[in-house]
Structure 1
Amino acid sequence: MHSKKNSPAPTTLPASGAAMDTIVPRRRGRRIALGIALALTMLMAAYALWSMLPRGLRVDGTDLRIGQVTRGVFIDDIVVRASAEPLHSVILDAVESGRVEEVLAVDGALVKQGELLFRISNPQRHLELLARQSEHAVSIFNLSNLRVAQEASASDHRRRLDDLRFNLEQAQKRHDRNVRLAAQGFISNVALEESHDALRQQQHLLAQQERATATEAQVRNAAAQQLESAIGGLDSGLKLVAGTVDALAVRAPVAGRLTNFRLQVGESVATGKNIGRIDDPARFKLAASVDEYYLNRMAVGRHGAVTQDGRDYPADIRAIYPQIKDGRFIVDLVFTREQPPVLNPGQSLDARITLGEPAPALLLPNGAFINDSGGAWVYVLDAAGGGAERRAVRVGRRNNAQLEVLAGLQAGDRVILSSYAAYGNSPRLQLAR
């Protein structure tokens, strides 16, 4: 009994570490499974989101213009907008300044050559004309007096010469007579020497008078020539001043249609002011505005044509103005045969200019993209048509409708032809339908 009482009562022992190790692995496996499931779910969600994200710049594809690359014949010409202008025009500028006193023509009227258009007044020009006329008259009077004096002097010299020649002739006769008498002994040698001295004196006087007459005539002739030259200058000046006075009455230099003529009576006109022009009313040329891309391919003499009412009218390039403005330059075309029957200044026409011969080529329709990429790259649609990839290309000649493709594309490729300005440098586009 005692032994039973003293024996310890059985107690419940705490769980050992071995018992815990058997339970933990089951809980870690569940957590790992849950982690793997969660990771797979996240990967699937990320893939779904990634597949739903746009691949490239998203653009609206409904308004895009799409073109296909094809093989065909490239027509090497361009169509440009041209305006009709008079073939010949004469600019009217005011030669003299003054106040408009009378206007005898109206803008748009047909005028004849020499027809009076308007008249201006300038009192200063009239005063200059009167002064020149007075100076001219004085010079003429002086020249007349010089001529009279010259003639009187010439008459006096002629009279002196006549007297001296007569005296010389008499002295020669006396000397000849004395020579014969001295030979016969009727007069002395002294008398003979005196007659010889008298003869030599008369010869000397005559020679001296002839030199004086020639010198005076030379001087008077030189003075007369100078005065005549001065009078000639005065004549030119008088004509010039008279011309300026005549220019106060402005006349049409050629026949034609008066254009941009807006003078009013009482208006002040300055020298050099443009007052209009006179246009050829029958013959016209075409001034065409051409893209600067074609400048190096333009040449004087290239052929073109204008179509009106179903009929072609040939025209050739006559002049090229290479100054670039807003990306364009101007060429003039003249009709080689006849021109359209109905043409008015400023009328717009479509002119076709031929740059070369037709040739087989790989062709792409022209579009606004060429201004953005310069023909160096394009966006090419994929097979499904849901996206477009940027691709480098090389293009050659171009016209209004087509581009010649040299590299980067092949027949059947579809290309976005609309403007690329909104796409920046995006390498790929996703088209939303």
Structure 2
Amino acid sequence: MDVIIKKKTWTPAKLLLLGVLLLVVAAVGAGLLSSAGPARLNVDPERLTISSVTRGPFQEFVPVDGVVMPIKTIYLDAPEGGTVQRILVEDGAALTAGQPIIQLANTDLQLEMVNRETAVFDLMNNLRNTRNLLQQNRIQQLNQQAEIESQLREAKRVFDLNQNLYEQKVIARQEYQQAKNTYDYQLRRRQLSRQARRQDSLAMRGQINQMQQSVERMQSNLSLMRRKLDDLTIRAPAAGRITSLNAEIGELKNRGQRIGQLDMLTGLKVRATLDQYYISRIFPGQKGEITVNDKRYELSVKKIFTQVTKGVQVDLEFTSAPPPDLRRGQTVAVRLALSDQTVAVRVPRGGFNQKTGGNWIFKVSENGTKAYKTDIRLGRQNPDYFEVLEGLKPGDRVVTSSYEGYENMGELELRAKPQ
């Protein structure tokens, strides 16, 4: 009789297959768990720049290049046109106030000067002749007046005598009346003579005053003309150094044409050009500094040019004596302060900000083996530091070099490559 053999459910082959499946599932699960965490990357620390977060003085400033210039420049223009006759100084020479620089020649001005001098001399001669004539006329009037006074006295004497004789009935009335008429005539004559002399005197004064005023006006014009001739000699208006002298013997210079400039020797300034981005943050009195031979010199914004072309131009003057080695035209690096100096938590500048936008940074662990992605918030900045507002504290160490290729990583394994 046959015996029924029961079929086994778990055979060794099935158990082996199940074990293999469990191992595969465990491996996949471990892989999934590892991929769900932060991405890691092994990096050689020598390829990174690791900096320390510190607390210290912080000031927002902008570095700009400035050009050293004289404190004041006087432009020299030709006040009168003419031909360059002589050049009395060389370009770059130090001048004193009033020292001649260029001698111009202008025959038209010289001829006009001669004509005006002649006109003045003629008018002065006419004035002198008029005074002589008036003086002679006055002498004649005085002689006439003396003669009239003499005739009046004689007529009065005859009248008084005839009046006494007439009262005594010695002479006839006709003779008395004739003496009286003669006396009245001489009185009237004297009165008219005095009036005429007074009017002639007033007219003479008025004529002489007019001629005198004309002479004075022409002399004033002559003085102005002499000044114009003096302007043909171009002189230094103040002490300084002549630069950019542009003149050649025989060259014609028009009125108002620039011939050079005079740099004052009383001091120096620095002219800098800033980006238009800073136009709202620049104001007179703003501080800056330069470093010459390891020594700092403070400057102050003196002038801001209103015309903006390729940037904002500002003039800065030294608050104390300028460096002795500084020369006109020299380029210097200026640190222009945009804020007051304060104490802040700061991190050195680096390429990390280009990828993170200042929102996070790799912070190195205490043992220095790892760097974790840490959220931060940055504030002001200058060419040396970023101001840290949140996320870091003094003593922390962070990676400040470029994050090119690391921006998607959450953790860096800092392991040196084996030699």
Same fold (TM over 0.5): yes
1:216 aligns with 2:200: yes
Cα shift at 1:155: 1.5
Given that 1:288 and 1:330 are in contact with CA atoms closer than 8 Å, whether structure 2 keeps it comes out as yes
Counterpart of 2:265 (choices 277, 281, 284) is 281
Could you state the TM-score of these two structures normalised by the residue count of structure 2? 0.68
Specify every segment of 5 or more residues in structure 1 that has no aligned partner in the other structure, as ranges.
Answer: 1-43, 56-61, 419-427
CA distance in 2, matches of 1:72, 1:329: 32
Q: Secondary structure at the match of 2:193?
A: helix
Partner of 1:266: 250
The question of 1:206 aligning with 2:176 is answered no
Contact 2:84 2:103 in 1 (8 A): yes
Q: 1:103 is matched with which residue: 78, 84, 87?
A: 87
Using the aligned pairs only, state the percent identity: 25
Asked if 1:230 is matched to 2:210, the reply is no
Match of 2:73 in 1: 89
Aligned residue runs from structure 1 range 18-417, under 5 A: 72-177=56-161, 194-281=178-265, 283-336=267-320, 338-354=321-337, 356-361=339-344, 363=346, 380=360, 395=379, 399-402=382-385, 410-411=391-392
Q: Distance in 1 between matches of 2:254 and 2:248?
A: 14
On the 8 A contact 2:62/2:336 being kept in 1, the answer is yes
SS of the residue aligned with 2:326? coil
Q: Distance in 1 between matches of 2:49 and 2:194?
A: 109
SS in 2 for 1:137: helix
* Deviations 1:383-420, CA, capped at 9 Å, x for gaps: 8989999x9x8956x544445577xx6437989998xx
Give the root-mean-square deviation of aligned CA atoms.
Answer: 4.4
Bigger drift between 322-331 and 350-359 goes to: 350-359
Once the two structures are TM-superposed, the CA of residue 78 in structure 1 deviates from its matched residue by 4.8
> How far apart are 1:381 and its partner, in Å?
5.0
Contact 2:70 2:269 (C-alpha < 8 Å) held by counterparts? yes
Q: Does the 8 Å contact 2:78/2:253 carry over to 1?
A: yes
Instruction: Give me the whole-angstrom Cα distance separating, in 2, the residues matched to 1:65 and 1:181.
Output: 148
Partners of 1:65 and 1:197 lie apart in 2 by: 136
> How many residues of Structure 1 are paired with residues of Structure 2 in the alignment?
360
Tell me if structure 2 keeps the 8 A contact 1:379–1:415: no
Q: What TM-score does the superposition give when structure 1 sets the normalisation length?
A: 0.66
Check whether the contact 2:351–2:400 (CA below 8 A) recurs between aligned residues: no
CA–CA separation in structure 1 for the residues paired with 2:379 and 2:331: 31
Partner residue, 1:30: none
Cα distance in 1, alignment partners of residues 385 and 168 from structure 2: 131
Q: Against the structure 1 CA distance between its residues 221 and 410, is the aligned structure 2 distance closer, same or farther, given a 3 Å change threshold?
A: farther
In 1, distance between residues paired with 2:352 and 2:168?
135
C-alpha spacing 1:302/1:172, structure 2 compared with 1 (3 Å): farther
Conservation of the 8 A alpha-carbon contact between 2:60 and 2:382: yes
Paired residues of 1:306 and 1:314 also in contact (CA < 8 A):
yes
Point out where structure 2 has 5 or more consecutive residues left out of the alignment: 1-27, 40-45, 364-369, 413-419
| Cα deviations by residue, 1:230-289 (Å, 9 ceiling, x for unpaired) | 222322332333333333333333332210113222322222111111222352222233
- 8 Å CA contact 2:57–2:342 kept in 1: the answer is yes
Structure 1: distance between partners of 2:342 and 2:112? 72
Q: 1:368 to 1:115 in 2, by over 3 A?
A: farther
